[in-house]
Amino acid sequence: MASVAPRNLKVGTIIDKTLAVVERAAMPALIYFIALTVLDGAVGYFGLTMTAPLQAVAFALLKGLIGIVCAYLLIDAMVGRTGLRSRGEGDMFLPYFGLSILYTLGVLAGFILIIFPGLFIMARWSIAQPLLVARGDGIMASLGESWERTKDNEFQILAALLAFLVPTIAISLLCTFMLGRASLAGMIISQIASSASSVLALAMGVALYGLVIGAPKELAAAFE
């Protein structure tokens, strides 16, 4: 079905193919960006007035659910627009939801231990979500194959990911420092930066899927 790309990835190649995925799925990416900015921004803004622990937890769960739904729709659109989808008909949201929960718990556990294990897990599971959405594989099969296929490319993947995330973190910290945590302008700027980095992170997963797993023959050249 696919022509497997070389395992030795380069940071520049990952970044370049990530931007190519965004370009091919420009409209879905724009819709995702706007929806996530508005919905997450609204939840975050109203969440500032919620001081009770249960209310804070409820708003955090709502924000997480919004993120999962929006991410699934964008990844599905991206694998479709790039020609990487090979699964049959059928919706994969429920398996994707379960995988996202396991992914989040695994990464959080890594960060609780030490920061580096969390980053390492992020790199090794970076193509699990596109694997599930594009091929319709099971949750554990997607996580397992992602872990195997990204071996020896962890640092390249992390370097490319950090190239997208560091500017967002810097903007958020700057807004908090200069405008204050409760500033509406600061929240809007931070949310815009966060949504943009989310688009790039999801596109990077799809790009890595094309580079590591391989694209259908007629599109393989785009991921060489």
In a domain, 35, yes or no: yes
In a domain, 161, yes or no: yes
Categorize the per-residue pLDDT at 5 as very low, low, confident or very high, splitting at 50, 70 and 90. Answer: very low
Residues near 65 by beta carbon (within 8 Å), at least 6 away in sequence: none
Q: What is the biggest distance separating any 2 CA atoms in the chain, rounded to whole angstroms?
A: 55
* Domains held by the chain: number: 1
If you ran DSSP here, which 8-state letter would residue 5 be given? P
Token pair belonging to 149: 């296929």
Categorize the per-residue pLDDT at 223 as very low, low, confident or very high, splitting at 50, 70 and 90. Answer: low
In a domain, 1, yes or no: no
Token match 């193919």: residue?
A: 17
In a domain, 4, yes or no: no
The larger pLDDT score, comparing residue 196 to residue 181, is at 196
Cα-based distances in Å from 169 to 5, 71, 114, 192: 32, 20, 19, 12
Categorize the per-residue pLDDT at 145 as very low, low, confident or very high, splitting at 50, 70 and 90. Answer: very high
For 15, the domain range is: 11-223
In a domain, 5, yes or no: no
At 1 the pLDDT is 35
Give me the mean pLDDT over the 104-114 stretch: 83
Give me the mean pLDDT over the 129-150 stretch: 94
Query: What mean pLDDT, rounded, does the chain reach?
Result: 85
Torsion of CA 223, 70, 132, 212, to 10 degrees: 20
The pTM of this model reads 0.87
In a domain, 2, yes or no: no
C-alpha span between 40 and 222 (Å, rounded): 33
* Distance in Å from the first CA to the final CA of the chain: 16
Give me the mean pLDDT over the 166-174 stretch: 84
Is the pLDDT score of 4 beyond 80?
A: no
Categorize the per-residue pLDDT at 58 as very low, low, confident or very high, splitting at 50, 70 and 90. Answer: confident
Token pair belonging to 27: 């409209």
In a domain, 57, yes or no: yes
